Amino acid sequence: MKTYVLYNNKSNNGKGGGTARKVGEIWKDKDLVFVDVFSIDDYKEFFGKLQPEDEICICGGDGTLNHFVNDANEAGFDNGNKVYFYPTGTGNDFFNDLGKTAEDGPVEINKYIVNLPTVKVNGMKRLFVNGIGYGIDGYCCEEGDRRRSSDITKEINYTSIAIQGLLFHYKPTNAEITVDGVTHKYEKVWLAPTMNGRFYGGGMMATPGQDRLNPERTVTTMVMFGKGKLGTLIAFPTIFKGEHVKKEKIVKTFTGKNVTVKFDRPVALQIDGETVLNVSEYSVETAEAEN
């Protein structure tokens, strides 16, 4: 039996490969084969060579996990081999949502990577693990990418970017949010994510009531709206503990299976931390739960 450790050298500001080697210290009795995810040209071929008893351990951040589930889906992976995840990224919202830390070691995730929701945006369709960020959170990813483009090892403080955006750079939009056929309209929208888990953005508990394994396989859309820059800045820190949902005059949540969010101007969007630019609309559709 072999355990293939798929690592992303670009995660954790270019330190992901080295961090992944810690798996060898944890799993001393396993036959480990370390594979750079960027060296896999054909996932269908990769999965086809696996024996039934072989295992996979994904080492990276939320973006690495997102790429794996999409590559695996396209390759027709049947989820028959055990799949583990070990966090070597910067945000690690997926692991945080499971209530785990790196000290817990790799965790089997097969049940978490089936029946995932899909997002359609700018002609692209992708599965997502944690959530879709739209609004100032997308702006933060766009700005973080810009700052990191010249130096992959550069530490990015997304909280600082968000504060600067709220005060100076980001302008709120008007939005139409349709959940299971019912449309809601809002002005001065700052955030409009749709979530499969509770956390995104490196620790923000956007939807504290969302359960990624809920039997109905619903997602939760949250909208923060209406306040000016200062009022939003005051309320914004409460999202890290999920307490923003108590502020019902400026925060609403909706649970459903089909979601469409439209902004009145294009802004950046993020899918599990991966940036998509110039987005005016996205749609989410959930999968049916297994019987």
Which pLDDT does position 290 carry in this prediction?
44
Number of C-beta neighbours around residue 88 at 10 A: 26
* Residues 1, 283: Cα–Cα separation, whole Å: 41
Enumerate long-range contacts of 17-21, CB under 8 Å, 24 or more apart: 19/59, 19/88, 20/59, 20/60, 20/86, 20/88
* Reported confidence tier of residue 156, pLDDT bands at 50, 70, 90: low
Closest by CA position to 181, among listed 114, 256, 113: 256
Minimum mean pLDDT range among 24-33, 50-59, 101-110, 230-239: 230-239
Length of the chain: 291
Q: What is the mean pLDDT of residues 159-163?
A: 76
Q: What digits encode the pLDDT tens for the residues 243-273? A: 999 999 999 999 999 999 999 999 999 999 8
Instruction: For tokens 């670009």, name the residue.
Output: 10
Closest by CA position to 203, among listed 103, 94, 276: 94
Number of C-beta neighbours around residue 159 at 10 A: 15
Contact call for residues 33 and 4 (beta carbons, < 8 A):
yes
Which pLDDT does position 12 carry in this prediction?
62
* Residues 51, 120: Cα–Cα separation, whole Å: 34
Q: Do domains 3-112 and 118-285 have the same CATH topology?
A: no
Which pLDDT does position 15 carry in this prediction?
63
Q: Where are the domains of the chain?
A: 3-112, 118-285
* Residues 143, 164: Cα–Cα separation, whole Å: 11
Which pLDDT does position 241 carry in this prediction?
94
* Distances from the Cα of 289 to the Cα of 128, 180, 207, angstroms: 16, 17, 20
Q: What percent of the chain has pLDDT over 90?
A: 68
CB burial of residue 113 (10 Å; 0-12, 13-18, 19+)? buried
For 118-285, CATH number? 2.60.200.40
Which pLDDT does position 88 carry in this prediction?
87
Q: What is the mean pLDDT of residues 186-213?
A: 95
Q: What is the mean pLDDT of residues 164-186?
A: 90
* Residues 132, 207: Cα–Cα separation, whole Å: 12
Residue 111 in this model has a pLDDT that exceeds 70: yes
Q: What is the mean pLDDT of residues 122-130?
A: 96
Average pLDDT along the chain: 90
Note if the pTM is more than 0.85. yes
* Reported confidence tier of residue 159, pLDDT bands at 50, 70, 90: confident
Q: How many CA atoms lie within 13 A of 175 on its CB side?
A: 31
Which pLDDT does position 179 carry in this prediction?
98
Q: H helices of 124-235, where?
A: 136-148, 158-164, 229-235
* Distances from the Cα of 235 to the Cα of 27, 32, 98, 118, 137, angstroms: 44, 47, 26, 30, 15
Residue 153 in this model has a pLDDT that exceeds 70: no
Minimum mean pLDDT range among 94-98, 166-170, 208-212, 239-243: 166-170
**Amino acid making up residue 155:** E
Number of C-beta neighbours around residue 157 at 10 A: 13
Which pLDDT does position 106 carry in this prediction?
96
Domain 3-112 = CATH 3.40.50.1000: no
